[in-house]
Amino acid sequence: MKSLSLLFLVLIISVPNAFADPEADRLALRAVYEKRFPDVPLDAHADGAYALDEAKREQWLEMEDFPPYEFTVDDGEVFYDTPFANGASYADCLGPDAPVVKQHYPRFDAASGEVVTLEQTLNNCRLENGEEALDYLSDELVAVTAYIAYQSRGAKIDIVIPDDPRALAAYEGGKQFFYERRGQLNFACSNCHIQMAGHMLRAERLSASLGQVTHWPAYRFKWEEVGPLHRRFARCNVQVRAEPFAQQSDVYRNLEYFMTYMSNGMELNGPSSRK
Amino acid sequence: MSSFNSQYVKRALFTASLGIVFTGLSACGEPVEKMEPATVLETSTVAAQATVPEIISQAEAKYAEAAALSHAWTTTRTLIEQARAALEAGDAGKARALAEQALATAVASVEQAGVEAQAWQSRVPQ
């Protein structure tokens, strides 16, 4: 009897702490949307607001007949295929499955102890091969990510959070950022994209956070160009009057890590177009 | 002076709450967390004898403190810029009001960071 209760105690202690159980978080989040939108299959949220608004969806599908990101994907392919001065190329830094790799990003890098995004991997590749790093909003970097996203279409997001306290801390940091109210208007991401998902905010239908990362980079008509996910993060910060963070800052990389893990198992469908 | 200032802050708050308008709010039957702008101090924390440049540097210090906690508001930065511009234009009264507002929003943003350090956990779906 005594040994049984001892065993029980050991079991309790070895159960991962509730604040660091990404898989439980993911399942709980999916359950929220399942309950909220019983008629919308979870995978449909990869289309963002267009999964929740039939009229807007029809307009959007019409636009996608002539995808506004097409030229960017084509440019990206040229950049991708053009060797650096030393003869190496982006593909050499992306492993044997290149260019179908987007499903694995962002990933935790044990050497640096940080979350590394696809954008950073491309820039690191340039540096290692004697090229200059590119601005994260530059045409070339955005185009190469658009090409990789296009090639990775249909692959299922497969983010790994290794059993490393630094990886869990990065995940937790992103999670906290997502649920914290900020800015003078005092909104958390979750206020708009969980609690208010499906409602209108001015003229816009609010998307669910599930699937928000499946389709980047995206052509935004407001930007009149293809832009990365972190640019959208910045916009969502500024609209509640919170100071945004730099592209590829640790804050946004950890946020991306958390959000992408939440969408694990969903199919990539980028690049895409958005209003 | 301080009652004028508090009116100013209230007005700023009112415009903030108009900034975001949701429609169809009551459509779902679940308990809905309140959507309210952050509370900005309504009374002046500024010593009467402080000069406008002193208030501006206090606001800047608080803004930096909020930024270090990832909670700075664009509002504060804009107000600081406007206060400086008013000072340069020689409008001391306007500059003072703007600087005090900047400081009030900066103080509120640091408070928000403090509250949210715990409060976020209540929003995580279980």
The string of pLDDT tens digits covering residues B15-57 is 444 345 554 443 343 445 666 667 675 556 677 789 999 999 9
ipTM metric: 0.89
Question: For residues A23 and A41, what is the distance between their CA atoms, to the nearest angstrom?
Answer: 20
Q: Are A47 and A166 found together in one domain?
A: yes
Same domain, A166 and A269: yes
Q: Which CB contacts under 8 angstroms, 24+ apart, belong to A50-59?
A: A51/A207, A51/A208, A51/A211, A52/A197, A52/A198, A52/A205, A52/A206, A52/A207, A52/A208, A53/A205, A56/A205
Residue A89 domain-assigned (yes or no): yes
User: Same structural domain for residues A250 and A202?
Assistant: yes
Instruction: Return the pLDDT at B47.
Output: 74
A192 is catalytic: no
pLDDT (tens digit per residue) in A108-145: 999 999 999 999 999 999 999 999 999 999 999 999 99
Measure the CA–CA gap between B3 and B8, rounded to whole angstroms: 9
Is some CB atom of chain A closer than 8 A to the CB atom of B47?
no
Q: What is the pLDDT of residue B38?
A: 73
Query: Using the beta-carbon criterion (under 8 Å), do B25 and A199 form an inter-chain contact?
Result: yes
- The residues on A that touch B, with CB distances below 8 Å, are 19, 25, 28-29, 31-32, 36, 175-177, 179-188, 190-191, 194-196, 199-202, 238-243, 245, 251
**CA separation for the pair B108, B113 (Å, rounded):** 9
* H or E element at residue A225: strand A225-227
Please identify, among A87, A119, A151, the residue that sits at the C-terminal boundary of a domain.
A151
Q: Which domain holds residue A230?
A: 2-66+161-274
Count of CB atoms situated within 10 Å of the CB of B45: 15
Looking at the fold, whether A165 and A262 belong to one and the same domain comes out as yes
Which of A102, A131, A151 is the endpoint of a domain?
A151
Q: Is the CB of B23 less than 8 angstroms away from the CB of A199?
A: yes
Min Cα separation A175/chain B (Å) = 9
Residues A184 and A110 in one domain: no
If asked whether residues A125 and A192 sit together in one domain, one would say no
What confidence score (pLDDT) does residue B12 get? Answer: 42
Average pLDDT over residues B46-73: 94
pLDDT for A14 = 44
A177 & A241 share domain? yes
Say whether A184 and B73 touch across the interface (CB within 8 A).
yes
| Closest Cα in chain A to B106 | A184
In this structure, is residue A42 part of a structural domain?
Answer: yes
Do A215 and A79 belong together in one domain?
no
- Choose among A32, A242, A245: nearest Cβ to B125: A32
Residue A235 maps to a domain? yes
Query: Which residue from B minimizes the CA distance to A196?
Result: B25
Q: Indicate the residue among A151, A171, A188 that finishes a domain.
A: A151
pLDDT of residue B48: 77
Nearest to A199 among B24, B71, B105 (CB): B24
State the greatest distance between any 2 C-alpha atoms of chain A, in Å, as a whole number: 72
Nearest to B74 among A32, A176, A238 (CB): A238
Q: What are φ and ψ of residue A263, in 5° steps? A: -95, 15
What is the pTM assigned to this prediction? 0.90
- Choose the mutation target among B15, B18, B22, B63 for the interface with A, i.e. most A CBs under 10 Å: B22
Is there a contact between B22 and A199 if contact means CB atoms under 8 Å apart? yes
